[in-house]
Amino acid sequence: MAGGSRIPSEAKLVEQLGASRMTIHIALRDLSAEGVLLRRQGAGTFVAPRRIQSTFLELRNIHAEIESRGNRHSTDVLCMEVLNCDMAVATEMSIAPGSPVFHSVLVHRENGSPIQVEDRYVNPQFSADYLEQDFTTITPNEHLMAAGPLEEVEHVVQAIPADESNSALLDMKAGDPVLLLRRRTWSRGMIASSARLAHPGARFSLAGRMSVKH
Amino acid sequence: MAGGSRIPSEAKLVEQLGASRMTIHIALRDLSAEGVLLRRQGAGTFVAPRRIQSTFLELRNIHAEIESRGNRHSTDVLCMEVLNCDMAVATEMSIAPGSPVFHSVLVHRENGSPIQVEDRYVNPQFSADYLEQDFTTITPNEHLMAAGPLEEVEHVVQAIPADESNSALLDMKAGDPVLLLRRRTWSRGMIASSARLAHPGARFSLAGRMSVKH
DNA sequence: GAACTCGTGTTGTATATACAACTAGATGCA
DNA sequence: TGCATCTAGTTGTATATACAACACGAGTTC
């Protein structure tokens, strides 16, 4: 139901559902406390507008972000492969060492200037056709969101010096600060994907603003 | 009350407070939903242990974080002053240029090693006694939280090279990556405080994990 | 037109009752 | 000792009732 739209009053829900008013009242009260509904005494009960939630924890979508700034997004695909995972990747993805994983490396550009190196591992059990996608027209993020419901996200942010590979790809000098966002996503009970998103410190920041409840 | 300790049962609270059991039950239920209490059917009601959540959007508390890692937190106070704000600070704080603001610079240490330089401006209208605090025993964060209800938080994260001042304070070489967290907080309808929290990239990361609703 | 009043519909709160579900300790028994 | 069973105490849920507090629009009055 769309945010802001009104839902039936307690009295009407009593009729429709056959439960007592107190039962319904407490259920609505809980949903209100969770932020799902907004209730105004004397006025009614409404579906809450989507939660104001900053881009830290939300799944940031690089494509949408660049477009929202009115700029042009383009992608270079550097690597698309399947490989047998080593110990580090196996631990990171919680899968058996040596089992196959998909691996991709992309560079995202804003008006031609490199803004993110996306080094991503994907669980084949989550998305069997990952390597068949054309990532110049759809982002891995978008493909994965369509492949299954997002259940959990983990983010770690670090500032690290650019290594030779990153510095070349991001048009920086080696040792310059890189803002590294590591993200793991869970879906259908497994780790769907683990990504390292490296950004040039000089040209990139993560911002978020939120209201605090109560 | 200490985390984990038990509070009286609903029946006893009915006696002590003279309210009906349902009233008390609903009150405890709400506190449980907020995470203040933990209730186990059949067992009792307990004070919840302090929330373990060091996420981006929650107000991170450097003191609590260090202690939760079992380490020792100490603070060096480098500067406590009132000054008439320049154009940049006035804009940042949304106050009139030239009006007085409080300014403090602290270094937070974990087991003696510098982990954060906190460069903070505070609105005197929000906390008139800011400069009288002893920030070796209480963090500015804690003082400000007590001074008024937090209404809104803005965070910006950047990776920047350490300048001479930061590199000396954080025990790094100039140019090494610094993870800079800029935070502004709103309270009672004004900008209460604006802080620049600089961390050594090599020894610090911001982590957050969340479940996604629906 | 503007301001006020009032009534209906809405949510908020408090109460009393009844039973279900679960826990933890005490008890009994082999 | 070890195990099963019982029981008192606790929280979870659903119900019916009553009244308070608030919002909003219709109608009235000036």
pLDDT tens figures, A165-208: 888 899 888 888 999 988 898 888 889 999 999 998 877 777 66
SS3 of residue A98 by DSSP: coil
Q: Which CATH class is domain A62-202?
A: alpha beta
| Residue A51: per-residue pLDDT | 44
Dump the DSSP string for A146-201.
HHS---EEEEEEEEEE--HHHHHHTT--TTSEEEEEEEEEEETTEEEEEEEEEEEG
Give the closest-approach CA distance of B63 to chain A in angstroms.
20
Do the Cβ atoms of A154 and B206 come within 8 Å?
A: no
* Residues near A202 by beta carbon (within 8 Å), at least 6 away in sequence: A172, A176, A177, B160
Q: Which residues pair with A109 in a beta bridge?
A: A74, A114
Tell which CATH classification among 3.30.360.10, 3.90.870.10, 3.30.460.80, 3.40.1410.10 matches the domain B62-203.
3.40.1410.10
pLDDT over 70, % of chain A: 88
SS3 of residue B17 by DSSP: helix
Residue A111 has pLDDT above 90, yes or no: no
Measured from the CB, is B42 under 7 Å from any atom of strand D?
yes
Measured from the CB, is A28 under 7 Å from any atom of strand C?
yes
Residues of chain B with pLDDT below 70 are 1-4, 35, 49-60, 207-214
Measured from the CB, is B40 under 7 Å from any atom of strand D?
yes
pLDDT tens figures, A133-149: 999 988 898 898 888 87
Average pLDDT of span A78-83 = 94
Measured from the CB, is A42 under 7 Å from any atom of strand D?
yes
Q: How far does the CA of A123 sit from the C1' of D1, in Å?
A: 52
Q: How far does the CA of B6 sit from the C1' of D4, in Å?
A: 29
Do the Cβ atoms of B152 and A30 come within 8 Å?
A: no
What are the residue boundaries of the structural domains of chain B, listed by start? 6-47, 62-203
Listed as ranges, the nucleotides of chain D within 7 A of a protein C-beta are: 8-18, 21-24
Q: How far does the CA of B158 sit from the C1' of C17, in Å?
A: 60
| Residue B52: per-residue pLDDT | 33
| Residue A71: per-residue pLDDT | 82
| Residue B213: per-residue pLDDT | 45
Residue A52 has pLDDT above 50, yes or no: no
Look at A5 and A161; give whichever has higher pLDDT. A161
- Strand C close residues, chain B 38-77, CB < 7 angstroms: 40-43
Residue A212 pLDDT grade (very low, low, confident, very high; cuts 50, 70, 90): low
pLDDT tens figures, A14-32: 988 888 999 999 999 988 8
Q: Which CATH class is domain A6-47?
A: mainly alpha
